[in-house]
Amino acid sequence: MSLRDIARLAGVSVKTVSNVVNGYAHVSPETRAKVEKVLAELDYRPNLSARNLRRGRTGVIALALPELDAPYFAELSRFVIDAAAEHRWLVVIEQTDGGLDRERQALDGVRDHRVDGVILTPFAIGAEELAARTDDTALVLLGERIHDGPADHVAIDNVRAARDVTEHLIGLGRARIAALGAQDNSASGTAPLRLAGYRQALAEHGLPETVAKVERYHRAEGAAAMAGLLALDPRPDAVFCFNDLLALGAMRTILAAGLRVPEDIALAGLDDIEDGRYSTPTLTTVAPDKAELARIAVDLLRQRIDGRPGQPPREARAGYRLVPRESTLGR
């Protein structure tokens, strides 16, 4: 069922059918009605492969992120898919596992498929390599910061957000505030930014640092790292975890050790994943405006796709807010 079939049945040329389908203005009412009738009867759908071949567009964008089953990314993906739907784009998701090879593959595989653009959450891949890429597919970096990056970028102000959380903990009167989530295996993760914010706040109040490292932002690593912090003497009376998953893992360790949250140890995360709203105690966190992040990312991509090449990279910020809950306030 192609334009040709419709044209034959309606007794007009293929191009006229195409004009009707595309809402071209100068088609006589009678012709339009006749064609539309046949279109409806046969339930015509354009063949997008052909249309895209002709137009040089695919109508598909890729979203490349470390892992879809981390709640933060799942929630974000939802918004990206919704935002893309408004531009009638489909979204294919590529999982990189934060590995350099797979991040490259994602950019490559995606190139194979000639998507119109890529939204990438980089982790292992560095700024230099991204800058050096030869592919001219539109690219937007989402959620991580590569300083003076080679592509459009959108994120929340991670330094400030981390400082806000830390100050919240300081405001509770806690003095031994640990950070959980530093990393040294990522070329472009947010860990350094969040660490910087944490340090700023502590420095302003003359408090000492305690930093626990992890490799990945998973519950299991949060749980393990927390065990290390519990073994310290004196042990921390508050912990800022660099994301909610780490915090939930840490919470499990604290509670399983027979200690109380927040009475013995106050706990805060970052991401505002839904789990944290139903844990016991509920988890204090920073809520990035995920819908805004997604909307901006898609919008930057749209401008990049529609615009002329060679425009300088743009930097955009999405909002966030601190959400105090039971894990720092008690019930």
Partner DNA sequence: GCGACTGTTTACAACGTTGAAACAACGTTG
Partner DNA sequence: CAACGTTGTTTCAACGTTGTAAACAGTCGC
d(CA 28, CA 26): 6
Shortest spacing between CB 9 and DNA, in angstroms: 13
Q: Does the protein bind its own copies through residue 71 (CB under 8 A)?
A: yes
Site for its own copies in 228-257 (CB under 8 A): 248-249, 251-252, 255-256
Q: What is the CA angle 43-47-49, rounded to 5?
A: 165
67 is a site residue for its own copies (CB under 8 A): yes
Radius of gyration for the alpha carbons in the chain, expressed in angstroms and rounded: 25
| Residues whose CB is less than 8 angstroms from the CB of residue 289 and which lie 6 or more positions away in sequence, other chains included | 156, 318, 319, 320, 321
| Interface positions, 79-108, toward its own copies (CB under 8 A) | 81-82, 90-95
Return the residue matching tokens 């400082």: 163
117-to-78, 168, 172, 174, 307 alpha-carbon distances in Å: 18, 39, 45, 46, 12
**Bond before 281 cis per omega within 30 degrees:** yes
What does 4 bind: DNA, its own copies, none (CB cut-off 5 to 8 Å by kind)? DNA
Q: How far is the CB of 12 from DNA (least distance, A)?
A: 4
Among 53, 220, 256, 257, binds DNA (CB under 7 A): 53
Minimum CB distance to its own copies smaller for 155 or for 223: 223
Residues 6+ apart with CB under 8 A from 35: 6, 10, 12, 16, 17, 20, 27
Q: Which of residues 32-61 bind its own copies (CB under 8 A)?
A: 43, 45-50, 52-53, 58-60
Query: How many residues lie near DNA (CB under 7 A)?
Result: 28
Question: Using the rule CB under 8 A, is 5 a contact of its own copies?
Answer: no
Query: Can you tell me the distance from the alpha carbon of 189 to that of 246, in angstroms, rounded to the nearest whole number?
Result: 15
- 8 versus 114: smaller Cβ distance to its own copies: 114
Nearer to its own copies, 50 or 131 (CB): 50
The letter for the amino acid at 233 is: D
Counting contacts by CB under 7 A, is residue 322 touching DNA? Answer: no
CB of 200 to its own copies, least distance (A): 30
Return the number of other C-beta atoms located less than 10 Å from residue 143's C-beta. Answer: 25
How far is CA 43 from each of CA 2, 31, 324, rounded to the nearest angstrom? Answer: 10, 18, 53
Query: Could you give phi then psi for residue 267, rounded to 5 degrees?
Result: -140, 135
Give min distance, CB of 109 to DNA, in A. Answer: 16
Residue for token pair 């009707």: 20
153 neighbors 140 (Cβ within 8 angstroms): yes
Of 9, 27, 182, 187, which lies in the binding site for DNA, with binding defined by CB under 7 A?
27
| Footprint of its own copies (CB under 8 A) | 43, 45-50, 52-53, 58-60, 67-69, 71, 73-75, 77-78, 81-82, 90-95, 109, 111-114, 134, 219, 223, 248-249, 251-252, 255-256, 274-275, 277-280, 282, 331
Interaction site with DNA (CB under 7 A): 2-4, 12-16, 18-19, 21-22, 24-28, 30-32, 46-47, 50-51, 53-56
